[in-house]
Structure 1
Amino acid sequence: MRPHSRRPSRRRPAKTRGPVWLFDLDNTLHHASHQVFPAINRAMTQYIIDRVGVDIDEANRLRVGYTVRYGAALLGLVKHHGVDPADFLHVVHTFSDLPSMLRAERGIKRMLHALPGRKIVLTNGPSVYARAVLAELGIEKLFERVIAIEDMREGDRWRAKPDAPMLRRAMRRAHVRLADAILVEDTRGHLKSYRRLGIRTVWIVGHLPAARTSSGAVSVRMPGAGRPHYVDRTVQSVRALALGLRGRALGRPAAKP
């Protein structure tokens, strides 16, 4: 009689719940205001002039207005002017020398690695551009996925941050509970919209353009100064975020009244 052989268990190990970091890309993981944003804005304006047939003032008004209204200028251009999304994204995110334009914190790879939990990039930029930036910064392998604007579509309808249904769908596909998500973002409007979903929020301000007061003096934003109610923490940098989490976790959002 053969000895009974026990089959190996096929039960998968239970997943441990922990934070899932949703990192914006521009002005969060790198200093886009240095050269990248000015180049993108110039390219967007010229694209609108060429495709829509308006002057530079109107083109700038449309670019800024659609960004504020829809979260991304692309959505307004598609909806109101029938712009080809793939062509637009390619043209305005093509650079002659992207590596020379990038500025990021020294040691950002080490700081990101020190953050516990899963990490995802959530950007209104296109995938090719996002992955090129991450690769150039040497941090692409630290992120399990990139959710770019192409991934936010619902059928033929384009979506972008801060669209709430889009985020819910994206998180379901990534198997992320909203209660576990922490959004790290420079745009306050996105933080405000997603805080209502129960997501924890971190406002990163170190790469934001300095604001000038009425007297012409430069106003420097410091962590904790004037923090909006929908922001759980304000930090200058990824380094400050990583150092601030040593020995303590980011608190859960307060319960709604």
Structure 2
Amino acid sequence: MSRATPLRLPRATRALLRRLRQRASGKAAAPAQPPRTWLFDLDDTLHNASAHIFPHINRAMTAYIRELLSLDEAGAGKLRQHYWRRYGATLQGLVRHHGVEPQHFLARTHDFPDLAGMVVAEPGLRAMLHRLPGRKIVFSNAPRAYAEAVLRIIGVRDCFDALYTIESLRYRPKPARAAFRRLLHAEKLDPRRCIMVEDSPANLLTAKRLGMKTVLVSACLRRAPHVDVLVASAMDLPLRSGRL
């Protein structure tokens, strides 16, 4: 009995048959996707800055503004908070409206007598970070020297592939879109493959609008619509990462 001559099938039919045979054999492969990238805020996300560090910085910033603009302490404190709420960082308001030199301001307000004694962090932080698959980047409005020092003190600097600070962002802090876009462009990241971990709902709102998954680290705030996951501590991330 002679064999039938194979027919020349149209390209679309051949592609359909290939997919059907792959499905039948259980070998159909999903298209490869780049690994997720975790973008971590630093203060009050990776360590508890509110315990000792933020009060020190706030006093130093208030003193700086008081001296710069000849205000009393109450007035200087109100202006500091106003610029922080409006721009995401007090520095941005002082640069825009008073011509302050950023490096001078940062050096004066991030001078700590005993930074190591002021840092409060979870002892299992390093192990937790190693349990999260994907690249990890620190994305902070803090100055580089301070951020590097804190990461070394808590023993996790080598857990991160990159560090973006206020200098890297050309003094355009979160929640400005320009800050996010600078990091995404420099690292060649698709925001849809990024997870932003933050204690600031305002910063997460920008991240969500860009297409990122969002994690709010807070023991007291409620989960807003633009927050995908709420955790009381970054230590809870491995348990909740399945929802991301």
Structure showing the higher helix proportion among its residues:
2
In the alignment, which residue of structure 2 is the partner of 1:187?
200
Q: CA deviation at 1:228?
A: 0.5
1:226 to 1:95, Cα distance in 2 relative to 1, 3 A: closer
How far, CA to CA, are the matches of 1:228 and 1:80 in structure 2?
32
| Residue 101 in structure 1 maps to residue 113 in structure 2 | no
| Residue 233 in structure 1 maps to residue 236 in structure 2 | no
Q: Deviations over 1:57-86 (max 9, x none)?
A: 111111000001011000100111111110
| Residue 71 in structure 1 maps to residue 84 in structure 2 | no
How far, CA to CA, are the matches of 1:84 and 1:74 in structure 2?
9
* Count of aligned positions: 213
In the alignment, which residue of structure 2 is the partner of 1:20?
37
Q: 2:191 aligns with which of 178, 185, 198?
A: 178
In the alignment, which residue of structure 2 is the partner of 1:29?
46
Q: CA deviation at 1:25?
A: 0.4
How far, CA to CA, are the matches of 1:151 and 1:249 in structure 2?
31
What aligned pairs does 1:1-257 form with structure 2 within 5 A after superposition?
Answer: 17-153=34-170, 158-206=171-219, 221=220, 226-245=222-241, 248=242, 250=244
Identity %: 44
In the alignment, which residue of structure 2 is the partner of 1:214?
none
Amino acid at match of 2:43: D
Secondary structure of 1:120's aligned partner: strand
Q: Tell which structure's C-alpha radius of gyration is larger.
A: 2
Amino acid at match of 1:201: T
How far, CA to CA, are the matches of 1:42 and 1:170 in structure 2?
30
Tell me if structure 2 keeps the 8 A contact 1:112–1:238.
no
TM-score, normalised with respect to structure 2: 0.84
How far, CA to CA, are the matches of 1:191 and 1:244 in structure 2?
17
How far, CA to CA, are the matches of 1:137 and 1:105 in structure 2?
8
Q: Deviations over 1:8-42 (max 9, x none)?
A: xxxxxxx9611111100000000001000000000
**Which blocks of at least 5 consecutive residues in structure 1 are unaligned?**
1-14, 207-220, 251-257
How far, CA to CA, are the matches of 1:93 and 1:242 in structure 2?
32
Structure 1 vs Structure 2 CA RMSD:
1.4
Q: CA deviation at 1:236?
A: 1.1
Moved over 2 A (4+): none
Secondary structure of 2:142's aligned partner: coil
Amino acid at match of 1:244: R
How far, CA to CA, are the matches of 1:164 and 1:59 in structure 2?
28
TM-score, normalised with respect to structure 1: 0.80
Tell me if structure 2 keeps the 8 A contact 1:89–1:126.
yes
In the alignment, which residue of structure 2 is the partner of 1:4?
none
How far, CA to CA, are the matches of 2:129 and 2:96 in structure 1?
37
Amino acid at match of 2:172: R
